[in-house]
């Protein structure tokens, strides 16, 4: 086995992990502060991807495209929060699941109506193309390396914001006691809208960044959403730290599982069998990881209670 290849796969796992963190952070914040489970988070990811693809096609600028993904997803988030989501804070989880599931249907079909069913392609810019040579002679995609950098920078900024800024203090207060924060005179509905928009913007950005690797199409959000669910179940719902740890664990397990399992099975099985069995098992690996975490920590690694 080539160590260079292993290092490359590890970096791939990290880049998937930080992108999952961008998704999971919004989900877990919205749950922690507002007690809401939002299935339509994947739709905001999709909105980000489409906004970026459209702006990139019109202007040719990747940075403008990224900015568009943030803004479009945040605006979509604000609209959805003010029209639908805020009616759901006091409802039970079943109502939240159904209403946000309905939102997925609306978002997906509306997007299909506007953009059609064919995937759009978002090209990465030249200045992020090609590879860089890392220490030990590892050649690695400049773009994916940038993803890791962006993801970690945003994670850092988010931790700093929650620890040190006024909105961060309010978020933490809101997690502990909604009535208390209302009593402090904070306009709670504005705080909720803001938190929701923040989560939406992060999801939108992830949609654009991932969209440049895969493609931008209707339905791109839900597989990522479900992975993000696995992330926050592992990390503990409501915990940003848990989201980061969970995201990296899931990213690494998924990528390295797909890489190592067929090789490991190759020691005992014939080559084609090892490849197919390995791929099947690898596709299950993160769920097995989740099941193991649940066996020992039913509320996740950093979950309270």
Distance CA 264, CA 7 (A): 17
Q: What is the dihedral of CA 168, 202, 113, 217, to 10 degrees?
A: -160
- Binding residue for other proteins (CB under 8 A) from 99, 200, 244, 261? 99
- Binding residue for other proteins (CB under 8 A) from 1, 2, 90, 94? 94
Give the largest CA-CA distance in the chain.
68
Minimum Å gap between C-beta 239 and other proteins is 13
The single-letter DSSP state of residue 120 is B
Distance CA 115, CA 167 (A): 36
Binding of residue 214 to other proteins (CB under 8 A): no
Total residues at interface with other proteins (CB under 8 A): 43
Tokens describing residue 113: 């109506």
Q: Which stretch binds other proteins (CB under 8 A): 102-110, 136-144, 148-156, 260-268?
A: 102-110
- Binding residue for other proteins (CB under 8 A) from 5, 109, 123, 183? 109
- Binding residue for other proteins (CB under 8 A) from 220, 230, 245, 261? 230
- Binding residue for other proteins (CB under 8 A) from 8, 11, 31, 302? 31
- Binding residue for other proteins (CB under 8 A) from 61, 87, 139, 153? 87
Minimum Å gap between C-beta 5 and other proteins is 21
- Binding residue for other proteins (CB under 8 A) from 63, 101, 127, 180? 101
Distance CA 127, CA 289 (A): 37
Query: What are the b/e assignments for 143-152, b being 16+ CB within 10 Å?
Result: bbbbbbebbe
Binding of residue 171 to other proteins (CB under 8 A): no
Distance CA 279, CA 277 (A): 5
The single-letter DSSP state of residue 269 is S
Task: Locate the DSSP E strands across 46-204.
Answer: 131-134, 138-141
Binding of residue 103 to other proteins (CB under 8 A): yes
- Binding residue for other proteins (CB under 8 A) from 57, 58, 105, 184? 105
Binding of residue 295 to other proteins (CB under 8 A): yes
Minimum Å gap between C-beta 256 and other proteins is 16
Minimum Å gap between C-beta 290 and other proteins is 6
Binding of residue 271 to other proteins (CB under 8 A): no
Q: Name the β-bridge partners of 139.
A: 133
Burial of 28 (0-12, 13-18, 19+ CB in 10 A): buried
Q: Which stretch binds other proteins (CB under 8 A): 16-24, 54-62, 107-115, 166-174?
A: 107-115
């Amino acid at each position: 086995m080539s160590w260079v290849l292993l290092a490359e796969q590890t970096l791939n796992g990290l880049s998937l992990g930080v992108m999952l963190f961008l998704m999971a952070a919004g989900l877990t914040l919205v749950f922690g502060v507002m007690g809401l489970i939002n299935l339509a988070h994947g739709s905001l990811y999709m909105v980000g991807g489409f906004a970026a693809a459209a702006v990139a096609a019109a202007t040719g600028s990747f940075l403008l495209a990224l900015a568009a993904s943030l803004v479009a997803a945040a605006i979509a988030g604000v609209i959805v929060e003010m029209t639908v989501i805020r009616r759901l804070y006091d409802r039970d989880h079943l109502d939240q699941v159904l209403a946000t599931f309905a939102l997925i249907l609306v978002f997906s079909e509306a997007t299909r109506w506007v953009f059609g069913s064919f995937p759009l392609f978002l090209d990465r810019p030249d200045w992020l193309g090609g590879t860089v040579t890392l220490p030990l002679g590892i050649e690695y995609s400049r773009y994916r390396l940038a993803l890791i950098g962006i993801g970690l920078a945003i994670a850092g900024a988010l931790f700093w914001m929650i620890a040190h800024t006024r909105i961060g203090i309010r978020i933490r207060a809101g997690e502990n006691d909604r009535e208390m924060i209302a009593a402090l005179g904070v306009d709670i509905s504005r705080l909720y809208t803001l938190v929701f928009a923040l989560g939406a913007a992060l999801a939108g950005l992830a949609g654009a960044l991932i969209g440049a690797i895969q493609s931008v199409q209707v339905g791109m959000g839900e597989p990522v959403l479900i992975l993000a669910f696995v992330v926050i179940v592992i990390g503990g719902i409501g915990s940003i730290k848990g989201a980061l740890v969970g995201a990296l664990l899931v990213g690494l397990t998924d990528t390295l599982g797909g890489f190592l399992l067929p090789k490991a099975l190759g020691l005992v099985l014939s080559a084609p069998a090892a490849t197919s069995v390995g791929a099947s098992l690898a596709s299950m690996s993160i769920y097995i990881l989740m099941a193991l975490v649940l066996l020992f920590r039913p509320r996740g690694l950093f979950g309270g209670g």
